[in-house]
Structure 1
Amino acid sequence: MHLRQSDSHPNVIRYFCSEADRYFHYIALELCDLSLSDYIQRYAGCLDKATKLDLMKQATDGIAHLHHINIIHRDVKPKNILMTGLLTNPNNEHFSRIRVKISDFGLCKSVKIGHNSISKVSGAVGTEGWMAPELFDADASVTYAVDVFSLGCVFYYTLTEGKHPFGDSLSRMSNILSGNHFLNHLDEHAEYTSLTLISSMLRPEAARRPTASAIASHPLFWEPSKQLQFLMEVSDWIEKKEPRDPVMRRLEWRRNLVFTNWLDQLDEPLRLDLLKQRQYMNNVRDLLRAIRNKKHHYQANIFK
């Protein structure tokens, strides 16, 4: 029933029909090529960042659709994220665009209209190592956030090509219950956006995790052109604000956690080119200004 409700989305596995006899119930589903788990194992070391983000975004869209129609999946994991459309040449060198499909609806539950949670059955439901901590708390509510937690684990698994944010299989459950995740396989600077998003998805407090729809619109999944346009618009917006403005103070107060001097992080030719135009201060305002100015100067040079 849940599958019939949900299969109108391109990132949810398609249901065709069902039949039953005296002994068995048969369900005809869309044929997929392999699971995310199989895919990561098979192509580890060959996947670029854009491919991984595409897989993550499609999985998020599928979960967001389920939540939109009031369904909690409760068993999100790499083996339940299937893939179709995978085509390779004889040397396994060429990939078509893969379509991600959320599958296995055996543990799904519908949320009643007007409610945000479902009643808990006796015992924890799901797959050990991928279940949110509240599923082990007899007094906690089961909300859409349990899928978000599991999806955060899947994100880390995808980006690191097989690693788990809560460690090896022996210590995984105790780390989940104590809230100890380890994201050390992602570079804290190069993967800062991924790290902050995944950390928010793995929060022990279910109410503090983002929704699936919010994750789907996160800057991690923006095209580079959209990211650049956003930074330019922020630069224009803060240009006339005073340093003591509350917005500016919030923007600047954590800058030392990201960089000590942003100019020192630039390649020398770029730094020298920027400083030919004007002087820049070591603050976020001037970093955004430099990004905006460089974009404008680049466009101007193209049309000269």
Structure 2
Amino acid sequence: MTNSRLGQEIGGRYKIEEFIGEGGMQYVYKAHDLLLGRKVALKTPKNNSATKRFRRSAVVAAKVNHHNVAKTLDYINESGNRYLIEELVEGSDLQAALMQRAKFLDPYLAACIFNQLARGLSAAHHAGVIHRDLKPTNVMISGGYSLRELKITDFGIAKMADEELSEAAKGGTSTLTTSQTAVGALPYMAPEAIETPDLVGPPADIWSIGAMFYHMLTGDFPYGNGLKAVRRILANEIAPAPKFMSANPQFSFLARDLLDISLSCLKSDPGQRPTADELVQRCESLCYSKSPRYEGSVKSIYYNRYGFIARVAGDDVFFNQSSVYGPQPAIPGSKLCFSMFKGGGAWRAHPVIVLDS
């Protein structure tokens, strides 16, 4: 079904080239804009229920214009089929690009992501648009750990997802345990989205960002995953932050600031959460590096204190264990992600995180 569309021309303008993936509500393709000679993302609904709401979703998404939000470019109704044309981000979603290889992110990288997400969300809320389904798979990035570009996507599709979540919460044709959309969203769902989904407002998006950043900083969902998260969210039983966040003075100040911001987003009372504008202001006050990231493996470790990182191309890089955020790499061959700076004779790595092999 998904590959059968390859080569089709939609609206006499968009030629489908590649199937990219799918979400709970839609299929996503890469297409070539024959008129302007550019690549775009082409999205089409997966079922009849979503089809009926696709145009309305496109209209909602088109209201937001910000460099941290994927721009809605066009909408086509052709022979009863609906297509949403969106700005293409040549990369992967946040979950696939960063979180599948690292249990958590260092505070510098997390702060950079937090800042850009807050800016995109602020622009949306100023336009009167609520996302309703913010989670790592709805954030697209390019550049991997170097984070060249970040854009929130699926603002329009999220309205349809919100309606499915509402139906699931009420015990409709699908439930919170059987709905694909609900299962993926549960760890990031605000309590009001579970109890009174028809009354969800901008504070629910703030909650979702807070849950995302707790996860990125700690490696754990704040309230767990799956159906068990529902009870904990409603009871506000948040998991304690791991000790490594405060154990290393190289990172403890920024990590603590980010954790405080994240927890402020997770207040049970929506009125006690910061606004998106307030999040932007707090993120702008943070001090962090945006240096490019590299990957390598531990070449040697001496006295369990320092060692060298071998890169695929380039000289070895010196690192000290105090520059590692989280558990220390124990053996040669451990995969690492790091920034590096010129030192007295060798490049020096900081910050460093351990990647899955």
TM range (shorter): 0.5 to 0.7
Which of 264, 271, 277 does residue 200 from structure 1 map onto?
A: 264
Matched-pair contact (CA < 8 Å) for 2:106–2:217: no
Q: CA deviation at 1:197?
A: 1.4
More helix by share: 1
Matched-pair contact (CA < 8 Å) for 1:40–1:158: no
Write out per-residue CA displacement over residues 230-264 of structure 1, whole angstroms, 9 at most, x where no aligned residue: xxxxxxxxxxxxxxxxxxxxxxxxxxxxxxxxxxx
Match of 1:169 in 2: 226
Write out per-residue CA displacement over residues 196-230 of structure 1, whole angstroms, 9 at most, x where no aligned residue: 211111011111111111011116752369xxxxx
Match of 2:277 in 1: 213
**Counterpart check, 1:27 vs 2:99:** no
**Counterpart check, 1:17 vs 2:81:** no
Superposition map of 1:222-233 within 5 A: 222-223=286-287
Matched-pair contact (CA < 8 Å) for 2:76–2:84: yes
Match of 1:101 in 2: 151
Q: CA deviation at 1:103?
A: 0.8
Within 2, Cα distance between the matches of 1:46 and 1:123? Answer: 30
Deviates more, 1:167-176 or 1:58-67: 167-176
Which structure 1 residue ranges, 5 or more long, are not aligned? 88-94, 110-119, 226-304
Runs of 4+ in 1 over 3 A off after TM superposition: 45-48, 120-126, 138-141
Amino acid at match of 2:259: L
Matched-pair contact (CA < 8 Å) for 2:104–2:216: no
Counterparts in 2 of 1:221 and 1:37: CA distance versus 1, 3 Å: farther
More strand by share: 2
Q: Which has the larger radius of gyration?
A: 1
Aligned residues: 205
Partner secondary structure for residue 44 of structure 1:
coil
Match of 2:129 in 1: 71
Matched-pair contact (CA < 8 Å) for 1:53–1:221: no
Q: TM-score, normalised by structure 1?
A: 0.60
Superposition map of 1:120-199 within 5 A: 124=169, 127-138=185-196, 141-160=199-218, 162-185=219-242, 187-188=245-246, 190=252, 191-199=255-263
Within 1, Cα distance between the matches of 2:100 and 2:153? Answer: 20
Amino acid at match of 1:99: E
Partner secondary structure for residue 123 of structure 2:
helix
Identity across matched positions, percent: 26
Within 2, Cα distance between the matches of 1:43 and 1:29? Answer: 28
Matched-pair contact (CA < 8 Å) for 1:157–1:164: yes
Provide the alpha-carbon RMSD of the alignment. 2.9
Counterparts in 2 of 1:41 and 1:121: CA distance versus 1, 3 Å: closer
Match of 1:260 in 2: none
Counterparts in 2 of 1:107 and 1:168: CA distance versus 1, 3 Å: closer
Matched-pair contact (CA < 8 Å) for 2:104–2:217: no
Within 2, Cα distance between the matches of 1:155 and 1:68? Answer: 22
Matched-pair contact (CA < 8 Å) for 1:62–1:102: yes
Counterparts in 2 of 1:81 and 1:175: CA distance versus 1, 3 Å: same
Counterparts in 2 of 1:174 and 1:45: CA distance versus 1, 3 Å: closer
Counterparts in 2 of 1:43 and 1:140: CA distance versus 1, 3 Å: same
Q: TM-score, normalised by structure 2?
A: 0.51
Amino acid at match of 1:53: A
Q: CA deviation at 1:47?
A: 5.0
Counterparts in 2 of 1:167 and 1:98: CA distance versus 1, 3 Å: same
Counterparts in 2 of 1:100 and 1:139: CA distance versus 1, 3 Å: closer
Write out per-residue CA displacement over residues 165-221 of structure 1, whole angstroms, 9 at most, x where no aligned residue: 112335212111111111423635723212221111101111111111101111675
Q: CA deviation at 1:128?
A: 2.2
Matched-pair contact (CA < 8 Å) for 1:17–1:27: yes
Matched-pair contact (CA < 8 Å) for 2:166–2:198: no
Partner secondary structure for residue 74 of structure 1:
coil
Within 1, Cα distance between the matches of 2:158 and 2:225? Answer: 25
Counterparts in 2 of 1:223 and 1:179: CA distance versus 1, 3 Å: same
Write out per-residue CA displacement over residues 128-150 of structure 1, whole angstroms, 9 at most, x where no aligned residue: 22211012334984221000001
Matched-pair contact (CA < 8 Å) for 1:148–1:209: yes
Matched-pair contact (CA < 8 Å) for 1:52–1:159: yes
Within 2, Cα distance between the matches of 1:139 and 1:49? Answer: 32
